[in-house]
Structures are given as C-alpha cells and as structure tokens.
Amino acid sequence: MPDVIINKEVFYNPVDFVLKKLGGTWKIPVLWRLRKKTWRYTELQKDIAHISQKMLTQTLKELEADGFVLKKVYAEVPPRTEYSLTEKGTKAVEVITYLRNYGLELMKEEGIDYEAMMQEEAKKKKDK
Amino acid sequence: MPDVIINKEVFYNPVDFVLKKLGGTWKIPVLWRLRKKTWRYTELQKDIAHISQKMLTQTLKELEADGFVLKKVYAEVPPRTEYSLTEKGTKAVEVITYLRNYGLELMKEEGIDYEAMMQEEAKKKKDK
DNA sequence: CTGAATCCTCCCGGATACTG
DNA sequence: CAGTATCCGGGAGGATTCAG
C-alpha cells in the first residue's frame, strides 16, 4: 500500500478515493434526491432534514466541482438555481443504489425494516 | 428522511448505515487483506502502511463485534491470534470490490493509473 | 431566494508509554 | 506477540450573522 497523493490529498486505496468524493454526511442524500429530477436549492433544504444551509451549499459546490452535478442559475428576481445530475453523477447514483441495497440487507439482518419505517414517516407527514 | 436511531446511533439512510459499519480509514484495508487468507495481527500491522497499533486493534475489534471477522486466539507462548472473514465479511468484500472498481474508473478519468503506481511500488520494495 | 463568513464543538485517529 | 491506556491536534459539520 503506497502513499498516493493527488492534489495534496492522501488516500490509501481506490475505495478511499470514492469515499473522499461521495463520503461525508450529505453528498449521498443530495445525489439520491437528484436521481429523478431537477431540484431547487430551497427544495433540497426543505426536504433533507437537519441539513444546515452551510453544509448544503458546501456539498453542492463540491459535487459541482467534481462533475457530479450541474448548476443552472436563472437571472431572475428573486434568483432561482436548479441542480441536476451530470452523466458522471448518474453513474454515481448507480453505485449509491448498489450500496443502498446492501445497506437494506444489513439492516434487515439486524431486524430493522427501513422501508416500513419510511412509510410510517410518510403517513405522519400526511396527517399534519 | 426520518431520524433513524438504533443503538444510540443516528443515521439518515441505508448507505449511511453501511458506512458506519465499513467506513473510516482502516476497515477496508483490513477486510481487503483478509479476502484470500487468514492473517495474524503482526502481519497485518506490517503490511498496512501507516496504521497505528491502536487503530488496528480498534478496527479488528469492531469488525469482529459486527460479525465481519472471526478472531481465533491460540493459547501459546508467545500468543498467536489469527483473523479471518466470516460469511458476512465475505459478502462485505464483494461490495468493497464493486466500490473499488468504481474507484479505479474514477481515478482513470482523472488520469491516475493506480495499478501502474502499485507496480512501481512493488518494484521499489523488491529492490531494497 | 441563494448564498458567504465566522466562530465553535465534537470526535476520529496519531503519538507515546505500559502490560500479560 | 498482541494488545491497553492516555493525551492531544485537526477537520467535519452546527449555529449564527450578513449580503446580493
């Protein structure tokens, strides 16, 4: 295992490389939402519970810089910004989907039925 | 996205769940080495560059507790301990392999030929 | 509405010393 | 040989305030 240093970042293996790009708490929730459609900044902020404004901005900026996400700014008042997946981002979502399925398996092994929990949550939301 | 709390750990999605199990700097390098054979503690320590004794112990302990790794202690003097993959661990390595291949792709896109770099390193080692 | 700029907290992982 | 125990720094991410 060598020391691989690129752009002043040290990483030890290809998986590490992926996790430096897609890891952290917020990249995945954002990419996951973008998988089907374009989202506005505020929509994302409302939909992703607990994300701070700082982390949403930072996450989107990094995803854009790494070529996973496309940012479109409309010169309107008030301003509108839309985010969508690039081709590279679409590929990343495939990987995330794979990882997600494995996650669901692992959770099931521990007796956690994630999808049932999600439905519960959705119902609560509706009741409000 | 609900707040899912299990064993006092909060996580936001199934991918997060996986990364809580396999994430961090050292779980993957360890599991990767165990994929083909059993390793002793000291062998792992020698082979994984930069890993501290603390992190190796901690990593192995967590992997064992999560059921990915089997620990076998031989009551000899000096003591001998061997680590191997469980069935669950073998499944995890499949996921890691998938992730690793994606990592290699990403690196190639950025003009990084990881496998060539590895061969360079191997040659250097031999020369010494 | 879509950010930028600061300050602060927590915890992962490193360094070092000790043990059965 | 295979660990424990302790102390410590840095960076990810939260809270708050300001701006175009």
Q: Express each pLDDT in B5-49 by its tens digit.
A: 766 666 779 999 999 999 999 999 999 999 999 999 999 999 999
Q: Express each pLDDT in B47-99 by its tens digit.
A: 999 999 999 999 999 999 999 999 999 988 889 999 999 999 999 999 999 99
Question: Contact B111/B50 with Cβ under 8 angstroms?
Answer: no
Q: Which of A51, A88, A99 to mutate to test the interface with B (most CBs of B within 10 A)?
A: A99
CA distance B58 to B85: 16
Q: What is the DSSP letter of B121?
A: H
CATH of B4-127, picked from 1.10.10.410, 3.30.450.20, 3.40.1280.10, 1.10.10.10, is: 1.10.10.10
- Please name the member of B16, B100, B109 whose beta carbon is closest to the beta carbon of A15: B100
Determine whether A54 is exposed, middle or buried from the number of CB atoms within 10 Å of its CB (0-12, 13-18, 19+).
Answer: exposed
- Cβ of B96 and A15 within 8 Å? yes
B100 at the A interface (CB within 8 A)? Answer: yes
How many CB atoms are located within 10 Å of the residue B37 CB?
10
Q: Express each pLDDT in A87-110 by its tens digit.
A: 999 999 999 999 999 999 999 999
For residue B76, give how far its alpha carbon lies from the nearest alpha carbon of chain A (Å): 31
Q: Where are the alpha helices (DSSP H) in chain B?
A: 14-22, 27-34, 41-47, 53-65, 87-109, 114-127
Grouping H, G, I as helix, E, B as strand and the rest as coil, residue A68 is: coil
CA distance B105 to B27: 22
pLDDT given for residue B10 in this prediction: 67
How many CB atoms are located within 10 Å of the residue B121 CB?
15
- Cβ of B25 and A12 within 8 Å? yes
CA distance A74 to A49: 26
Query: What pTM value is reported for the model?
Result: 0.93
